Amino acid sequence: MADTFCCFASVHEKNVAIIESWGAFDRTAEAGLVCLNPISEVIAATISKRVQQLDVSCETKTADHVSITVVVSVQYEVLQGSEKEANYSLTDPHQQIRAYIFDVVRSTVPQIELDNVFLTKDQLANNVKEQLSRQLSSFGYAIRNCLVTDLNPDPRVKEKMNEINAAQRLRVAATDKAEAEKIMIVKSAEADAESKYLTGVGIARQRQAIVNGLRDSVVAFSSEIPNSKAQDVMDMMMLTQYFDMLKEVGTSGRQTTIFVPENPGAMATVAKEIHNGFLISES
């Protein structure tokens, strides 16, 4: 930008003035006060030295025939000392930069499948930057950066992609859930087996302790009473247990019915069977 007052002009910061004399290019003027010949010289244009950005939206197709809109952001500036070329070489810099971007995008994206477009967008941006730098450098422009800022497939394709992604995640979640349930079932079975094993060990030890206790009692009783036999001791113990059981059943408030031999003499047979069981346990 520049303000002109008769034979003086001021050029704003970060701008370069293009001065023409009698309609032909004469010189450039940096920011500050510029003296002009009011008869022949005029400021024909001002060139900004700032980095500018141009956003271009380009619609194309991928290798698998999916329509996609690619948004490319190009940051460019005028090269120092090339203000003349930048002003006179291109009629509409923005339009011609767009044309180069369209050319690169529409020649690159159709070679890539949709899924890979998202993975190779940096490569696409580099291709655009290299092509623009090579073409625009002769016109006085430098490409500072090029970014692919957005990739928009057709809305229907995007919806289907989201459905596929959701289905994949649900399948993984179902697999993980089934695996977790399997682990729980296996661990529960292992715990149940371990519990039953320990219960069996406890019962075996309990019975062994009973056998040992009874054996010690029989030995002690036999040693205290002369001419007594182990069979006599066992019969007496069983008879005592028999009467204790009858007493417990009779005094219990619960309605429980137990059928026992009515003849106490039948306890000898029971005692004999238990005695034989003890002998088998010890062996």
Residue 277 has pLDDT above 60, yes or no: no
Q: Are 241 and 214 a contacting pair, CB within 8 Å? A: no
Residue 146 CA to its chain's centroid (Å): 30
Within 8 A by CB and 6+ apart from 82, the residues are 140, 141
Smallest CA-to-CA distance from 103 within 71, 68, 54, 58 is with 58
Q: Are 19 and 42 a contacting pair, CB within 8 Å? A: yes
| pLDDT value of residue 75 | 92
For range 33-39, the mean pLDDT: 82
Within 8 A by CB and 6+ apart from 20, the residues are 26, 41, 42, 43, 44
Residue 255 has pLDDT above 70, yes or no: no
**Which runs of E-coded beta strand occur in the chain?**
2-5, 8-11, 15-21, 24-29, 32-35, 41-48, 52-61, 67-78, 141-153
Q: How does residue 167 score in pLDDT terms, banded at 50, 70 and 90?
A: confident
- Plot region of 22 (φ>0 → left; ψ -120 to 50 → alpha; else → beta): left
Looking at every residue in the chain, the average pLDDT score rounds to 79
How many residues are recorded in the chain?
283
Full-prediction pTM beyond 0.75?
no
